[in-house]
């Protein structure tokens, strides 16, 4: 049965949640644990380019024209 580690945070972008997840994943992988990181953005049907940059962060535009936050970029 898989074990889950869930990292959550407030609405403010840039507080280091991604760094925490990456660091924890690296430590677990070094100890022989299989790690899969999954990022879930609850921005259903919302264009990232029209959101407040303070709450969302900067927008990353993909090659196909999609707009996401910088964690994907």
The per-residue pLDDT for 27 is 96
**Where are the strands (E) in the chain, listed by range?**
59-61, 67-69
Lowest-confidence segment of 22-26, 54-58, 59-63 by average pLDDT: 54-58
C-alpha to C-alpha distance for 57 and 25, rounded to whole angstroms = 23
What pLDDT shows up at residue 34? 93
3-state secondary structure of 17: helix
Average pLDDT over residues 20-33: 93
Query: What integer pLDDT is reported at residue 33 of this predicted model?
Result: 93
Please tell me the predicted confidence (pLDDT) of residue 67.
Answer: 76
pLDDT at 47: 66
Nearest-angstrom CA–CA distance, 73 and 68 = 8
Query: Global pTM?
Result: 0.56
C-alpha–C-alpha distance, residues 31 and 25, integer Å: 10
Structure tokens at 63: 């090659």
């Amino acid at each position: 049965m898989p074990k889950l580690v869930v990292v959550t945070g407030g609405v403010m972008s840039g507080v280091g949640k991604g760094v925490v997840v990456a660091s924890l994943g690296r430590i677990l992988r070094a100890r022989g644990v299989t790690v899969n990181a999954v990022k879930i953005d609850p921005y259903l049907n919302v264009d990232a380019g029209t959101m407040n940059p303070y709450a969302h962060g900067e927008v990353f535009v993909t090659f196909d024209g999609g707009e996401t936050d910088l964690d994907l970029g």
